[in-house]
Amino acid sequence: MRIFLDTANIEHIRHAAGLGVISGVTTNPTLVAREGAGDLKAAILEICSMVHGPISVEALSPDADGIKQEARELASWHKNVVVKIPISEAGLEAISVLSRENIKTNLTLCFSANQALLGALAGATYVSPFVGRLDDIGHHGMGVVADTVGIYNYYKLPTQVIAASLRHPLHTIEAAKAGAHIATIPYSMLMQMIRHPLTDIGIARFAEDWKKVAKQ
């Protein structure tokens, strides 16, 4: 399973990219707004220069023609830009046209395996089931990831599953066990995944013991 970073924060992306463990980035309007007003194109191009993999940017038009127009513009920015499109009738129509133009798409705000199946049939490159937001309302978010992976595998559909809206490190393990192709995770979660208290204790003890050897 690959890991994408779910943020629009340039410094967090720079740091994570340097660790060599992320292979893409996902943004959404909320994440972009969190970083303040600025030049979106310049920010996306900077991200593309740091992470050489898929970079998702959301299209916001409500109708199919608007989505297609927006998607063509976003995709013209850089070869790695993937256009995020919320599931709707307009979204599916746009995805089916864009896939024939070889524009990569990420079906977003996906909350059911039915929505994920439709996204794959329309030709989405990626589908993003939102795990945490389903958990928040008492549904089993990771179940949607597992069902979607099972359906795609059974019918050999090429769409890749991005487990999204992940909230804690256990979600990453569960996404990997469910067979998700990608987990997109917040920066803070990546930091949590690196750390373990026994690692800290072990490093401190080895350092102490090495001092004793050095004194002999």
Residue 172 CA, chain-centre distance (Å), reads 12
| Nearest-approach distance from CB 200 to ligand E4P, in angstroms | 28
Of 84, 211, 212, 215, which residue is the catalytic one? 84
6 is a contact residue toward ligand E4P (CB under 6 A) = yes
The helix/strand/coil state of 57 is strand
189 is a contact residue toward ligand E4P (CB under 6 A) = no
Q: In the stretch 27-66, what mask flags binding to ligand E4P with x, by CB under 6 A?
A: -x--------------------------------------
- 166: amino acid identity, one letter: L
Among 2, 14, 15, 133, binds ligand E4P (CB under 6 A): 133
The DSSP H or E segment spanning 124 is none
Up-side HSE of residue 95: CA atoms within 13 Å toward CB? 28
The C-alpha atoms of residue 122 and residue 159 are separated, in whole angstroms, by 10
- 186: amino acid identity, one letter: P
128 is a contact residue toward ligand E4P (CB under 6 A) = yes
Q: In the stretch 62-91, what mask flags binding to ligand E4P with x, by CB under 6 A?
A: ------------------------------
The C-alpha atoms of residue 33 and residue 201 are separated, in whole angstroms, by 39
84 is catalytic: yes
184 is a contact residue toward ligand E4P (CB under 6 A) = yes
Cβ-based neighbours of 192, under 8 Å, separated by 6 or more:
168, 169
Residues assigned a catalytic role: 84
Q: Which residues bind ligand E4P (CB under 6 A)?
A: 6, 26, 28, 108, 128, 130, 132-133, 164-165, 184
